[in-house]
Amino acid sequence: MPTYSDKSISFFQKVYEVVKLIPYGRVTSYGAIARYLGSGGSARMVGWAMNASHNRDDVPAHRVVNRSGLLTGKHHFQGTNLMQQLLESEGVEIANDQVQNLDKYYWDPNTELSNDF
């Protein structure tokens, strides 16, 4: 059971682990995951990891949106609105490819997984 500090596992694997920790009906941002992994503002790495997540089954990539709650990665899913439907099926409100009440559904690993809050 490797830790996030373990460099023997790839950055991708860390991203997948975090994404899989996202609770049902919640969303988070690429930047938040990047910060949680200690990569700072390298949110691109997270997005890129998601691109490779197609090979993984247990990665709910649809729960990862950009800082504005925009479903930027929807084009990478099958169909045109699969990502939106997945989120809506979890109770997340979507309008114009954007999460409504983002603050309500937002799940930040830095906050939620931190004990010394």
Residues that bind DNA (CB under 7 A): 10-12, 29-31, 39-48, 50-51, 53-54, 61-62, 64, 66-68, 72-73, 75-77, 83
- Can you tell me the distance from the alpha carbon of 43 to that of 81, in angstroms, rounded to the nearest whole number? 24
- How far apart are CB 104 and DNA at their closest, in Å? 17
- How far apart are CB 116 and DNA at their closest, in Å? 22
Q: Closest Cα to residue 101, out of 111, 91, 86, 89?
A: 91
- How far apart are CB 110 and DNA at their closest, in Å? 12
In terms of CB distance, is 51 or 115 closer to DNA? 51
In terms of CB distance, is 112 or 115 closer to DNA? 112
- Can you tell me the distance from the alpha carbon of 65 to that of 40, in angstroms, rounded to the nearest whole number? 17
CA separation, residue 2 to residues 7, 33, 64 (Å)? 9, 18, 23
In terms of CB distance, is 58 or 115 closer to DNA? 58
In terms of CB distance, is 26 or 62 closer to DNA? 62
Residue 74 backbone dihedrals phi, psi, to 5 degrees: -65, -30
- How far apart are CB 48 and DNA at their closest, in Å? 5
CB within 8 Å of 21: residues ≥ 6 apart: 109, 113
